[in-house]
């Protein structure tokens, strides 16, 4: 049987065209992002952790930042890091929402990204005009996008999958000298629900967790709450079977 061999020149042309289309798509995506970065910030707290997509456009994955745009060189010199409101990133692990053609290189915006850092990304595909067929992920505002090192709760939930009953989970932070908040293990968190108050201590990763709880109305409390904890919003919610809820709590 006669074998058909591809001509080396044609293969090279095909590869060059594919790379050209890829870079053209990234360039168009970058332009799309830059044109739609908001000029003013919107203040709001992040939503509860996700266990499944919340909309057809919802995309969740981890990605390593290759390049950040519109960074301030003076700040980069002072801090030793390059930060910017949009970034080109390489996808490391997919959870849901990324199409096959946008599974490797994506453009993220708006936000505040550090070059060389890996992020847990919570965004939307095709949310910006003309970006339906471009690898653009809209990541703001009011989402759970954050450095992967800070996404302990998110990755734990996604790795463990659904549990029976209601689940309440979050991280504990304490304000340090100078005003910075750091994850703090060993802090006590109390929830009040249908079975009365329940107390738990955050683990070595500063994660507190209540699982397999009955449905009903729950309230989260912490000793010596910090002002930031009050500003983050409401601490109570009515939960149904399979719900995952929680919030990071801040103490003085």
The CATH number of whichever domain residue 194 belongs to comes to 2.60.40.10
Give the separation between CA 162 and CA 53, rounded to whole angstroms.
13
pLDDT over 60 (residue 148): yes
Residue ending a domain, choose from 122, 150, 178: 150
Q: Which of 31-40, 161-170, 215-224 has the lowest mean pLDDT?
A: 31-40
Predicted pLDDT at 77 = 57
Alpha carbon 128 to its chain centroid, in Å, reads: 18
Query: Are 85 and 37 within 8 A, CB to CB?
Result: yes
Same domain? 186 vs 127: no
Q: Which of 37-41, 59-63, 72-76, 105-109 has the lowest mean pLDDT?
A: 37-41
Which stretches of 140-244 are DSSP H helices?
152-160, 227-231
Query: Are 148 and 120 within 8 A, CB to CB?
Result: yes
Same domain? 64 vs 100: yes
pLDDT mean over 206-226: 90
Two structure tokens written together for 73: 């060189």
Query: Are 152 and 171 within 8 A, CB to CB?
Result: yes
Contacts of 109 (CB under 8 A, 6+ apart): 33, 34, 36, 37, 85, 86, 87, 136, 138, 139, 140
Q: Is residue 62 in a domain?
A: yes
Alpha carbon separation from 132 to 38, 68, 74, 101, 136 (Å, rounded): 19, 22, 35, 12, 8
Among the listed residues 188, 210, 211, the one whose alpha carbon sits nearest the alpha carbon of residue 201: 188
The residue range of the domain holding 234 is 162-251
Q: Is residue 12 in a domain?
A: no
Predicted pLDDT at 79 = 62
Q: Is residue 157 in a domain?
A: no
pLDDT level of residue 229 (50, 70, 90 thresholds): confident
Q: Is residue 8 in a domain?
A: no
pLDDT mean over 117-122: 96
Same domain? 67 vs 101: yes
Q: Is residue 36 in a domain?
A: no
Q: Is residue 72 in a domain?
A: yes
What is the count of structural domains for the chain?
Answer: 2
Give the separation between CA 197 and CA 21, rounded to whole angstroms.
58
Residue ending a domain, choose from 82, 117, 150: 150
pLDDT over 50 (residue 39): no
On average, the pLDDT of the chain sits at 81
Q: Is residue 180 in a domain?
A: yes
Q: Is residue 46 in a domain?
A: no
pLDDT mean over 194-203: 93
Same domain? 169 vs 231: yes
Residue ending a domain, choose from 150, 180, 209: 150
pLDDT level of residue 202 (50, 70, 90 thresholds): very high
pTM: 0.77
Tell me which H or E stretch contains 15: helix 8-35
Give the separation between CA 132 and CA 188, rounded to whole angstroms.
45
pLDDT level of residue 40 (50, 70, 90 thresholds): very low
pLDDT mean over 12-40: 54
The CATH number of whichever domain residue 112 belongs to comes to 2.40.50
Which tens digit of pLDDT belongs to each residue from 65-107?
Answer: 999 987 666 666 566 778 888 899 999 999 999 887 656 888 8
Same domain? 225 vs 171: yes
């Amino acid at each position: 049987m006669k074998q058909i061999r591809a001509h080396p020149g044609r293969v090279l042309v095909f590869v060059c065209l594919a790379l050209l289309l890829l870079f053209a798509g990234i360039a168009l995506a970058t332009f799309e992002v830059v044109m739609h970065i908001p000029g003013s910030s919107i203040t709001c707290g992040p939503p509860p952790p996700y266990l499944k997509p919340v909309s057809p456009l919802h995309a969740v994955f981890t990605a390593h930042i290759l390049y950040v745009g519109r960074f301030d060189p003076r700040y980069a010199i002072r801090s030793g890091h390059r930060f910017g409101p949009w970034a080109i990133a390489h996808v490391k692990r997919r959870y849901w929402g990324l199409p096959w053609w946008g599974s490797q290189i994506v453009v993220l915006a708006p936000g505040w990204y550090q070059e060389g850092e890996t992020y847990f990304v919570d965004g939307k595909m095709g949310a910006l005009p003309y970006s339906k067929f471009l690898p653009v992920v809209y990541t703001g505002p009011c989402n759970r996008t954050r450095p992967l090192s800070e996404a302990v709760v998110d990755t734990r939930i996604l790795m463990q999958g659904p549990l029976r009953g209601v689940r309440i989970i979050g991280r504990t932070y304490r304000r340090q000298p100078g005003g910075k908040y750091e994850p703090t293990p060993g802090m006590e968190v109390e929830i009040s629900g249908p079975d009365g108050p329940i107390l738990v201590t955050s683990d070595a990763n500063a994660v507190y967790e209540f699982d397999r709880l009955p449905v009903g109305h729950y309230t989260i409390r912490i000793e010596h709450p910090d002002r930031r904890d009050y500003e983050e919003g409401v601490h109570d919610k009515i939960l149904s079977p399979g719900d995952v809820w929680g919030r990071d709590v801040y103490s003085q």
